[in-house]
Amino acid sequence: MRKSFKLYSILSVFLVGLLFITSNRCKKEDENPPELPPADAILMDFSDFDNGVPQGKKSVTSYNNFGYSVLTIGVWNTAAAINILIPVAAYAEALHHEAVYLGENSWQWQYSVTIAQSTYTVKLISKRISNAQFTLKMLVSKSGTDGFEDFKWIEGTVRYDRTKANWTIYESPDVSWPVVEIEWTRDWEKDLYTIKYTCEKPDSDLHGGTIEHGVTEDPVFDAYYIITFPSNTINIEWNRTTKAGRVKSQSYFGNSEWHCWDESLLDVTCGNIW
């Protein structure tokens, strides 16, 4: 009898301890949603080329090198504004909301956001797939005219340390194909990053093309774009502080040399900007 009581006591202590550990483990998991990447992990920065050449100077050939860069980047900037800007704005709103635990290593941010006079209901759902990565899926609904429900606008895979993410953006509730694949990396300590778009939209002139943008430690040209098409590759590099830069394009210039502009955006011999 005493042995049975002792065994029962040991089992009871063991079960209580197990329940305590399990409870703490669930509680710990429940209290730690993944940290979301910033919106610029999806939306490429085109701001240094947004304004174009100085007003009233567009016909001046001495702005040719910078002007060509503006036009080339502008094609991608326009495509991003049409296909990426609204879903990214919907995603960015999640950064201002708390996540709710769904169980089984999954979390959900749910909220409404108004963009361009339309109101969307968003469910951003994460799912842990390993100790290093989790998935994100953004389901969007809209009521009223042209309404839709649970359209998967963005999905991706993100590292927990937010140093790398891959995304797919889909076109619309009526068109199921992907618009763009996105690769993003970030070095938080050095404040460096890369982001690359690959156009997947079948009916786009950019289909199959890519644009990669990054910030580097180069002391002269600390930012770049690499734009690829089946028939040509365009390299653009510039200094984010001075705005001086250079561009290389075999199909446009007829050679593989760099063609530069200075701090005033004027064409200049490349050796004269540093």
Residue-wise pLDDT for 237-269, tens only, equals 999 999 999 999 999 999 999 999 999 999 999
What are the structural domain ranges in the chain? 33-272
pLDDT higher than 60, residue 104: yes
pLDDT digit string, tens, across residues 143-164: 888 899 999 999 999 999 999 9
Model pLDDT, residue 44: 98
Q: What is the pLDDT of residue 181?
A: 98
Q: What is the pLDDT of residue 166?
A: 98
Burial 9-30 (b: 16+ CB within 10 A, else e): eeeeeeeeeeeeeeeeeeeeee
Averaged confidence pLDDT in the chain: 88
**pLDDT tens for each residue of 119-149:** 999 999 999 999 999 999 999 999 888 899 9
pTM, entire model = 0.86
- Percent of the residues in the chain that have a pLDDT greater than 90, as a whole number: 77
Predicted confidence (pLDDT) at residue 8 exceeds the cutoff of 60 = no
Average pLDDT over residues 76-92: 96
pLDDT at 178 over 60: yes
For 192, other C-beta atoms within 10 Å of its C-beta total 14
Confidence of residue 271 (pLDDT cuts 50, 70, 90): confident
CA angle 228, 253, 245 (to 5 degrees): 75
DSSP-assigned letters across all residues of 64-95 = HHHHHHHHHHHHHHHHHHHHTHHHHHHHHGGG
Report residue 248: phi and psi, to 5°. -135, 125
